[in-house]
Amino acid sequence: MRYLHTMVRVSNLDDSLDFYCNKLGLKEVRRIDNEKGRFTLVFLSAPSDEERAMKDQAPLVELTYNWDPEDYKGGRNFGHLAYRVDNIYHTCQRLMDKGVTINRPPRDGHMAFVRSPDGISIELLQEGGSLPPAEPWASMPNTGSW
């Protein structure tokens, strides 16, 4: 398993970039604008991690800016921790065998979400691209929220 990023939702992208980059000193290493989903993702790295972040896409802070206004009271601006795993199906099965609920199953062979005992969302991403869809995952419904 490898740590990837921590996602934080932001209400004003310009103000957030001013804080994280101009004041704190992080570097923007990647940006995704998704018109269909109406959001922008900006990935930031610490200066000494910039080379590794460009190569491995980790370790990063992911700023998520939703184009439509949202209320982030109660800590909803914190999104999730993300880890890349060798085999998402084996990882999810191991977690289920230990009593962990798979909130968003890896139906696509690529991504799953679970929650910590304190309700922190953990994103699991398949190393090296998606695995072929497989049961029981492909038809497993979502459980709760992530």
**92 and 39 inside one domain:** no
The pLDDT of residue 11 is above 80? yes
- The more confidently predicted of residues 24 and 39 is 39
**25 and 53 inside one domain:** yes
Catalytic residue among 70, 123, 127, 135: 123
pTM for the model: 0.74
Q: What is the pLDDT of residue 74?
A: 65
Q: What is the pLDDT of residue 69?
A: 87
Q: What is the pLDDT of residue 139?
A: 97
In a domain, 99, yes or no: yes
- Measured at the CA of 143, the angle between CA 115 and CA 137, to 5 degrees, comes to 95
Dihedral angle sign, alpha carbons of residues 86, 90, 94, 96: positive
In angstroms, the Cα distances linking 114 to 51, 92, 96 are 30, 9, 10
Annotated active-site residue 70? The verdict is no
In a domain, 80, yes or no: no
The pLDDT of residue 75 is above 90? no
Burial class (CB in 10 A: 0-12, 13-18, 19+), 69: exposed
Average pLDDT of span 97-108: 95
Dihedral angle sign, alpha carbons of residues 38, 104, 72, 82: negative
Q: What is the pLDDT of residue 3?
A: 92
The pLDDT of residue 76 is above 80? no
- What is the total count of domains within the chain? 2
